[in-house]
Structure 1
Amino acid sequence: MRICYFDCFSGISGNMLLGALLDAGLPEALLRAELDKLKLTSWRLEIKPVVKAGLRAVMVKVRAEVEQQRHLADIQTLLEQSELNRVIIRRVLAVFQRLAEAEARVHGTTVEEVHFHEVGAADAIIDIVGAVVGLHHLGINEIVCSPLPMPRGWVRCAHGELPLPAPAVCELLKGIPVQGENLAQELVTPTGAALAVELSRSFGPLPPMFIEQTSYGAGSRERRDRRPNLLRLLIGRRQAVEESQLVEVIETQIDDWNPEFWPHVSARLLAAGALDVSLLPIQMKKGRPGFLLRLLADPAHAIQLKELVLSETSAIGLRFHNMQRMTLPRTVVELETPWGIVRGKKVELPDGSSRIKPEYEDCARLAKKSGGSLQQIHAAALENSNG
C-alpha cells in the first residue's frame, strides 16, 4: 500500500501538485506523452528546478496561446475523445464535476450552464490531468491531506474582485478541516481544492507510515511574508498495523432517558462504524442519577454517529475531542471445538508472544444450537488456542 501525504503548509494549486509529482519521480517524457493524448492545441509546458528558502523544488507553468471558456460537457468530450487510460479519465472528470458543482452553487446556476473560466482554461486541464497521471504512474493507493490554510484579502478573476478564500474554494471545502492564515494572498486555488478533496481519502495529521521519499512543488508566486510557497509530498508505505491512531471521543450526559433502549442504540452505533461504545451510571447535578454515554469513532464516521446519538437518545448536546490510541496487531483465527468452529482474536504482544481470545458471540451461538454449556465451549476453544 503506497500512501502519499499532501503537506499543504503553504496551500495547494494544480501546478504545485504537478511539480511535486515530477520531483517525486514522474518522468517528464511520460508526462508529456500522456498529455499529448488530449489532442489539446496551442499550449506548452515549462518545467524547471528552483530553490525556495534553501529547498529544492520543481516549478511547472502551462503557457496557453489561446484562452477558451468551456462547459463541463466540453471538457468531458475532450477527455472521452483522448487516448488516456479510462481510470485516469474517470478521476479527472470527478475533479471537474466537483468544480462545476461548486461554481454552480456559488453563482446560482446549474452544472450544465457553468462557464469554466480560469478552471476551464488549458492550464487547469493540463494541471489536473497531469496530477492524476502522476499519481497513477507512481502507484499511489491512498492520499491523506493536511488541513488547508485559509488566508484573507482579495483575488481577481473572471467575475471581478472576490474575497479570499475564493467562494468556490469555500464551497469545495465544506466539511474539510481548515485553519486561518494571517496573509492577504491566495494560497488554495479552486483547482487545488478540487484535487485535494476529490483525491484524498481523509484530512488530518500525518498518518502512520514508513516515509520513502519527500518532494516539493513550487507555486508560481512568492509569498509576501517570505515563507516558501511550496507543496510537500511525503510518499511511502502504510504501516501494516497502526500502533498509534487518531480517534474521536464523543460523549454526552443524560438523566431523562430510558436505559432499556441501550441495547438497540449500542447495536446501531456499532453498525454505523463506532469503534467502541459504553454507558456509565453517574450522579448528575441536584443529585439526580444519570448516564454518561461515550463512544470512540474514526473521524470519517464521526458526523453520522453524532447524528445517531442525538436521534436515538434524549441528548440535546455532545462533547467531542480527538485522542491518540495505541492498538496491538490482531488477526482472526478459527478454533475447533467438539461442537463446531469458533472464531478467535489473535493479538500479538510487544514481546513477540501472542494470546487468543475466543469470540463470545460464536461460543453463545454454538451453545444455543447444540444445547451445550457456554462455559464448556469457551473452555474448549481456549484450550485449542493454546495447543
Structure 2
Amino acid sequence: MNILYLDCISGISGDMFIGALIDAGADPAVLQQGLKRLHIEDEYELEWRKVIKNGITATKFDVKLHAHSHGHGHSHEHAHSHGHEHAHEHMHSHDHGHEHSHSHEHDHTHSHDHAHEHVHSHAHEHTHSHDHEHGHDHTHSHGHTHSHDHGYEHIHSHAHEHVHDHTHSHEHSHNHDHTHSHGHSHDHDHTHSHGHTHSHGHTHDHHHRSYADIVKLIEAAGFKDSIAETALSIFRKIGEAEGKIHGVPLERVHFHEVGAVDSIIDIVGAAILLDHLQVEAVYASRIPVGSGKIRIDHGIYPVPAPATLEILKGVPLEQSAIRAELTTPTGAAIAAVLAQQFGPLPSMTVNRIGYGAGTKSFGEHPNVLRVMLGEM
C-alpha cells in the first residue's frame, strides 16, 4: 500500500504541503493542468522555487494573485518577527495569457501573517512577520504574491518602487529579484510584480466566494470522484469550523476573493497531487501549533487561532516553544481530514522524501514540512 507520512516538525500549512509534494517528486505540470479545470487561471499564477531553511534544501510554493483579481486593501494590526535565511532560489512561475515586460525592479515585499489563512467569515486574524530572505529569485510575476505560511503570510509586492533605468520591454516577463547582502542573513525577498494595487491584508472590493460557490466550482470542474471528494471534505472542515466560530450556517460562510483563490489552489492542488502520487493512506505526526498570542479583529487571542483549534479537535497536538503560529487552518484541515492516524513514523519502506518550506525562519529548527512517500 502506498502511504504518505507527514512529519510536521514545524507545523503545516497548505503551501508547505504542496511544496513538500513537489519536492518529493510530484509533477508541477500535473498540478497546473488539473487546476485549469476550475477556469480561474486568469486570477493567479503559481511559483515554486528551491530555498535553504537552516541548511535544509526545500521547495517553497506560492500562489501569486493577479492584480485585477482583487481591489485596494489596507493593512491591519501588524505583529512583527524577524527570520533569517539564505535562499538561493530559482523560482518557476507560470502566467496565463498576458503580455509582459522584461524589467528589473526592486519590489520590496512585505510579508504579513494572516492567521485565518484567507478564510474569512467576518473575522480576520492577523499576525505579520518580516521574513527577510536573501534569495536569487528568477520569477515571472504579475500581481500580488500571497505566500501563506504560518499565519498566512501575504507577500504584497509594491510594483512601482525603485525601478531601474535598464528596463527592457519584451513579451515575456522575467523578473529578476535583486537581493542585497546586509551582513547577517536577513533575507529580503524582493519579489517583482507588475501589479498596480498597493494592497496589504484583506481587500475591500466586496467580491467574495461563499462556501456554496466553492462547492459548485469544484463540482463543475469534472474532476475524478476521489479528487473532488478530498477537496470538498477539506473545504467542508474549514467551513464548518468558521461557521461555528462566527455563528453562521455553513452555506453562509464567505471566503474573501483573495483568500478564496489561495485556499482553492492549496486544497484542490493537494487533492490533485495525492491522486497523482497514488497515495492510498496518510499518516501524520502530532501537530505542533506554536505558542504565544495573535491579534485578530476581536482582540488578542492565544495560539492556535480559534478556527485552527476548532479544526484540530480530536487531533493530537504538540507543545512548541516557538512564539508564532505554526499551523494554519488550511494545513490543519489537510491533516485532520487526510490522516487516518497520528503518531510516530509507522513501519514503512521510504522511497521518496520531500521538504516544503514555510516563509518564516526559526533558529531552533528548519521551518519545513517533511513528507515521506513509501510502502507499508
Same fold (TM over 0.5): yes
Q: Which amino acid aligns with 1:25?
A: G
* Corresponding residue for residue 43 of structure 2: 42
- State how far apart, in whole Å, the 2-side matches of 1:237 and 1:172 are: 29
Matched residues, percent identical? 43
User: Match of 1:3, as an amino acid?
Assistant: I
- Return the alpha-carbon distance in structure 2 between the equivalents of residues 108 and 15 of structure 1: 28
Structure 1 residue 168 corresponds to structure 2 residue 169: no
Higher helix share: 1
Q: 1 CA distance for matches of 2:20 and 2:325?
A: 19
Shift of 1:71: 1.3
Q: Which runs of 5+ in 1 are unaligned?
A: 239-387
Once the two structures are superposed, the pairs formed by residues 189-228 of structure 1 within 5 Å of their partners are 189-223=328-362, 225-228=363-366
Conserved? CA contact 1:119–1:190, under 8 Å: no
CA shift in 2, pair 1:30/1:233, >3 Å: same
Aligned to 1:385: none
Paired residue for 2:33? 33
CA deviation digits over 1:6-65, x for unaligned, max 9? 000100000000001101111111111111111113111111111212211110010123
Q: CA RMSD in A?
A: 1.8
Matched, 1:105 2:244: yes
Alignment partners' CA distance in 2, 1:156 and 1:123: 22
Displacement of 1:83 in angstroms is 3.2
SS at match of 1:37: helix
Cα distance 1:141–1:172, how it changes in 2: closer, same or farther (>3 A)? same
Deviation at 1:84, TM superposition (A): 2.3
Q: Distance in 2 between matches of 1:151 and 1:220?
A: 15
Q: Is the counterpart of residue 18 in structure 1 residue 18 in structure 2? A: yes
Deviation at 1:220, TM superposition (A): 2.1
Larger Rg: 1
Q: 1:76 Cα shift?
A: 0.7
Change (3 A) 1:168 1:119: farther
- Pick the aligned partner of 2:282 from 143, 146, 162: 143
* Residue identity in the other structure for 1:148: I
Q: CA separation of 1:119/1:112 partners in 2, compared to 1, >3 Å: closer, same or farther? A: farther
| Deviation of the 1:158 alpha carbon | 6.8
Q: Could you say if the C-alpha distance between residues 140 and 182 of structure 1 is closer, same or farther in structure 2, counting changes exceeding 3 Å?
A: same
Cα distance in 1 for partners of 2:3, 2:279 equals 6
| 1:63 corresponds to 2:64 | yes
Question: Which structure has the highest strand share of the two?
Answer: 1
When normalised by structure 2's length, the TM-score is: 0.60
Change (3 A) 1:102 1:179: same
State how far apart, in whole Å, the 2-side matches of 1:122 and 1:163 are.
27
Task: Check if 1:81 corresponds to 2:220.
Answer: yes
SS in 2 for 1:121: helix
Length-normalised TM-score, structure 1: 0.58
Q: Which runs of 5+ in 2 are unaligned?
A: 71-206
Count of residues in Structure 1 that have an aligned counterpart in Structure 2: 237
Structure 1 equivalent of residue 369 of structure 2? 231
The one of the two structures with greater contact order (alpha-carbon pairs below 8 A, sep at least 6) is 2
